[in-house]
Structure 1
Amino acid sequence: MTDTARQPLTTGRSAQITRTFNPADIQALHAVSGAPLSQDAVPEALINGLFSSLLGVDLPGQGTNYLKQETEFLQAAPIGEPLTARVEITRLRPEKHLVDLATTCHSPSGALIARGRALVLARDVAGAFA
């Protein structure tokens, strides 16, 4: 993750995180949610969790309210491979405190695992808008 919490929000700004999920992560998800156990692929919920983490911790950061997420999963993400999730600001609506972001997740080879968009309310993020 990058240290973006103190920078103003601007179109084109981005943040990313890389995470490798292992069988214990899939088991933990199953234990708390009842999601099906997978032997081959990272569950979609864990991939979306990467986006959620970026939005709530990094960009826009603490105080962000997650309003909407649309994700298209293009291929399975193998367990044990590092996945890189990225969010990028595509539109700012300061009068409504809304931030639109593109979301992507790639494998180490650069293959696109998932893509989509998120809409967040950044009202509580102090000094968020430039």
Structure 2
Amino acid sequence: MMNYFVGQTASFSRTVTETDIVMFAGLSGDYNPVHVDKEYADDTRFGKRIAHGLLTTSFLSRLLGMELPGKGSVYLEQSLKFLKPVFIGDTITASAEILEIDQDRGILRLETICRKQDNTVVLKGEAKMMMPKEGAKI
């Protein structure tokens, strides 16, 4: 088992593009006009199109699955609170910090946060991940 410690952190950044929105809409089937229709979105409280909340959340999946705890880990739980909209062109930094380690069960509890380029928190929550160890009890 890899050596993890409470307070350990990792982060990953990505800029949201028009292509991301279109591909996510196609993959998820979520063609809500607030995401895909400029004219419709211009008349909403946001004033322009917003990214799908779960598109932003998917950056956490990439972070947790590839960085911390990393390859071979498995998502068990994720709580989410969406705080601010994400727009095309925003650079989002997904970060995670280990809050608790259950060695017996091979499970990590992590704080998860996504921030815009100006450090505005757009999403926060907690995740539980099975550590990448063969034979971990779940």
**TM-score in terms of structure 1 length:** 0.86
1:56 is paired with a residue whose SS is helix
Match of 1:15 in 2: 10
Q: Deviations over 1:26-79 (max 9, x none)?
A: 100111110125152111111111111111111011110100001100010111
Distance 1:69 1:80 in 2: 26
Question: Structure 1 residue aligned with 2:126, among 117, 121, 128?
Answer: 117
Check if 1:106 corresponds to 2:101: no
1:55 is paired with a residue whose SS is helix
Q: Deviations over 1:66-99 (max 9, x none)?
A: 0000110001011111111101100000011010
Distance 1:78 1:23 in 2: 10
Check if 1:33 corresponds to 2:28: yes
Aligned runs of 1:72-91 on 2, under 5 Å? 72-91=81-100
Distance 2:89 2:24 in 1: 16
Distance 2:107 2:114 in 1: 23
Match of 1:59 in 2: 68
Q: Are the aligned partners of 2:70 and 2:132 in contact in 1 as well (CA < 8 Å)?
A: no
Cα RMSD (Å) of the superposition? 1.8
Percent of aligned positions with the same letter in both sequences? Answer: 28
Structure 1: runs of 5+ lacking an equivalent: 1-5, 126-130
Tell me how far 1:23 sits from its aligned partner: 1.0
Match of 2:42 in 1: none
Tell me how far 1:124 sits from its aligned partner: 2.1
**TM-score in terms of structure 2 length:** 0.82
1:96 is paired with a residue whose SS is coil
Tell me how far 1:123 sits from its aligned partner: 4.7
Runs of 4+ with deviation above 2 angstroms: none
- Determine which structure has more spread, i.e. the larger CA radius of gyration: 2
The number of residues matched between the two structures is: 121
Structure 2: runs of 5+ lacking an equivalent: 39-48
* Paired residue type of 1:17: F
